[in-house]
Structure formats: C-alpha cells, structure tokens
Chains A and B, each alone.
Chain A
Amino acid sequence: SQTIHQWPATLVQPVGSPLSLECTVEGTSNPNLYWYRQAAGRGLQLLFYSVGIGQISSEVPQNLSASRPQDRQFILSSKKLLLSDSGFYLCAWRASGGTGELFFGEGSRLTVL
C-alpha cells in the first residue's frame, strides 16, 4: 500500500535561518507531488507541484523553493526564513488515473520567531 511520510512534524526556527522540509512517498511510482501551506485562519495555498524528477512549478513568488531529486522525494527549502513563513505545511501526492484523489502527509508545523 502507498504511504506518505513528512518530517519534521514540528519546528521552531529564528528569522533568517534556513529551512528544509522533506516528504517521501512509498508504494507508488511517478506520482504528482504537491506542497501546500495552511496559515492560521486561512485556507490551503498551493506553493509548488511537480509532475516528475527535476520538474517544479511554482505557484506563489516568495522566498521558498522546492526540489525533487528522486521520483518519490519532494523537498521544501528556504535560505532565509521570514516571520510570514510560519504555518502548517502539507505535502501530498496523486497517482495517475483514477479519480485524482490527493493523499496528504500529516503536516509540518513551522513557527518562525
């Protein structure tokens, strides 16, 4: 069966520090991968999506970046965090075909101080 792992679950970082959130998917190949951010009191904002290795589409201009070094690995990064980067980050994957259901990880809560 397919599973998705996302880590770390919680982190507190100072302003200006770097960030790396990692997401891996097991049990499937060539998934579409997504990073979303959920800020307090706001909806789900699509940040990046990827249809294959090295293929990243950015939806919102900001100081975040994403990379997909392997088929089932998706990394969200920042060189210098801002206060506004605080939020709940969710990784998701989608298999080809079917009803297009997205499967979400458990999320990473980032607090920038």
Chain B
Amino acid sequence: GEDVEQSLFLSVREGDSSVINCTYTDSSSTYLYWYKQEPGAGLQLLTYIFSNMDMKQDQRLTVLLNKKDKHLSLRIADTQTGDSAIYFCAEDGTTSGTYKYIFGTGTRLKVLA
C-alpha cells in the first residue's frame, strides 16, 4: 500500500541545522517533494528532487534521497525562526499517469530563539 511517514515534531535552536526525515513506499514516483505549511494556510512547494538523483542543494536546503531504503531527508542550514512551520514530504505516486500525490504526516518544526 501507499504510506509516507515522518516524525511529528522537531525542535532546534536558531542557527542550528534541522534535519527532517521521511520514508515512502511507492518506488515508481518520478519526483519527491518537500512542502511547507504556515499556520492556517495552504501548502507551498519548498523543493523537489528527481528520483534518479541522490542529492539536491538549493541555498540553505539540502535534499538527500536513498532509493534503496526509500528514505528522503530535508536539511535546513542556519535555521531561522521564520522556518517554524509544518513540513510535508510527498511522492507523486506515478501510476498510469494520474499523479496521485501522497503526503506524509507532516513534521512540525519549532525554532527556538
């Protein structure tokens, strides 16, 4: 079945690095994503990685993908208070081209000043 799992909470101090982990099940996904949700709002795409890549760096963000273990991680360098939000990983679950996106449970990141 399809399941995407994340730890529920993460607390870090401002200036430290944050690492949010995710495990997924659908190996047919073309892309894997990280979305950010501010309180009371919809989700916005933070970054993504193509399934044939191992790593992607985008400014303070580093995405690591281990396809063998179906493990995805997001590292935020120099974490700021504005990074406090819920972070969701997602797989596009490409099946017959319908792109049935499955999201993880979300990790609530709290950044302490």
A contact residues vs B (CB 8 Å cutoff): 32, 34, 36, 42-44, 46, 49, 51, 57, 59, 90, 92, 94, 99-102, 104-107, 109
Contacts and interface: CB of A to CB of B under 8 A. Distances in A.
A106 B41 contact: yes
B38 to A, nearest CB: 11
B42 A43 contact: no
Interface in B15-69: 30-31, 33, 35, 40-45, 48
Interface string B88-110: 10101000001111111110000
Interface residues of B, number: 24
Interface of B: 6, 30-31, 33, 35, 40-45, 48, 88, 90, 92, 98-106
Given A104-B42, A104-B43, A99 B103 contact: no
Nearest to A105: B42
A51 B97 CA distance: 10
